[in-house]
Amino acid sequence: MTLSVPAGVIERYLEFLPFADGAPDLTIGEGGTPLVRAPVLEDRTGIREVWLKLEGCNPTGSFKDRGMVVAVAKALEADARALICASTGNTAAAAAAYGARAGVMTVCVVPHGSTAAGKLAQTRMFGARVVAVTGTFDHALTIVRQLAERDGVILVNSVNPHRLEGQKTAAFEIVDALGDAPDELYLPVGNAGNIAAYWRGFVGYREAGRATQTPVLRGFQAEGAAPMVLGHPIDDPVTQASAIRIGNPANWEEAAAACDASDGSIEAVPEAAMADAYRLLAQEMGVFVESASAAGVAGLLQRRAGGSASPERVVCVLTGSGLKDPDTALRESDDPIAAPPDLDAVTRVLGWSD
């Protein structure tokens, strides 16, 4: 009997990736994430098909794994001595995991006090060296860009072109599953790499004859951290969604060009709308995401409420797992009901006594 081993994104999409000399042997099983229908959102929006791409099902719980496996494979080709990144948490966890897998030291610089607990726990367990700076993500990125000028130190933020090459595989998977690109794609925007990567993927697939169309891109930033909506960088981005608390996105130009080419938009969503979408996904769809990941769904509901024209088929990208940020989940949900360990007491606190 032949065992069939799930391939990672490099093996599955090699012909579209920057490996002229064959597939490097690096994967932790990234990609191949579920695409599930969301009838609750179809009812609410009147859109015929709403699909959710569950990127939290990647090995470290976010979409970053797709880009990181390619970036780290390329770093190995370049004989890297160390990987370095700035991160609001998910990039750090992915870099640390693939660094561990590849046997390369990883350094992660994160904003102090605003990195979700699950992300820090992962990054630390994978053995990365973590530096917490008393500043924002944008400060951290400025610092790591300079440290990466040292010999053998590879920057694995999404300014590393190989990251976006890997991340574009999510677009391939969507087309492979649906038979064509959707009419619209909804997703959160932070450092603005992912939206650019999706565009590369959809355009690449159309050019290869695998899709007949490309989607309209709909990116969403949190209202208090929306430099691309305001049209200028901001020094002090504010949002509960720490993953996308970024004031000066590194991939601004490519993302803005992608959005324009798609006839799309980058819009702001209020905190309350993101929190509502975060709860709605969990409590009516059984999908537990981190709060930043709910921005696309919040944006979809906001646009429909505003009476925008109805597309027929849309995909919302849910970028990260809810387990990344247990503190927000515990704050946004009901406390357990305390009870002594006997049947009567538990029946009573449930309100099930006759």
Binding-site size for ligand F0G (CB under 6 A) equals 22
Find the binding residues for ligand F0G in span 238-277 (CB under 6 A): 243-244
Q: Is 60 in the site for ligand F0G (CB under 6 A)?
A: no
Q: Is 191 in the site for ligand F0G (CB under 6 A)?
A: yes
- Tell the smallest beta-carbon distance from residue 132 to ligand F0G (Å): 13
Q: Is 182 in the site for ligand F0G (CB under 6 A)?
A: no
The correct pick among 27, 45, 60, 91 for binding ligand F0G (CB under 6 A) is 91
Nearer to ligand F0G, 47 or 323 (CB): 323
Piece in contact with ligand F0G (CB under 6 A), picked from 37-45, 173-181, 286-294, 334-342: 286-294
CA distance 57 to 35: 11
CA distance 294 to 239: 13
Nearest to 74 by CA among 18, 148, 126: 18
Q: Is 290 in the site for ligand F0G (CB under 6 A)?
A: yes
- The token pair at 168 is 């574009």
Cα distances from 349 to residues 41, 138, 354, in angstroms, run 34, 48, 12
Encoded one letter per residue, x for contact with ligand F0G by CB under 6 A and - for no contact, window 144-163 reads: --------------x-----
Residue type, 165: E
Q: Is 89 in the site for ligand F0G (CB under 6 A)?
A: yes
Q: Is 75 in the site for ligand F0G (CB under 6 A)?
A: no
Q: Which helix (H) or strand (E) holds 70?
A: helix 64-77
Nearer to ligand F0G, 62 or 214 (CB): 62
**Order of strands, sheet of 129-133, starting from the edge strand that comes earlier in the sequence:** 129-133, 105-111, 82-86, 153-155
CA distance 193 to 127: 26
In sequence order, the β-bridge partners of residue 133 are 111
Q: Is 190 in the site for ligand F0G (CB under 6 A)?
A: yes
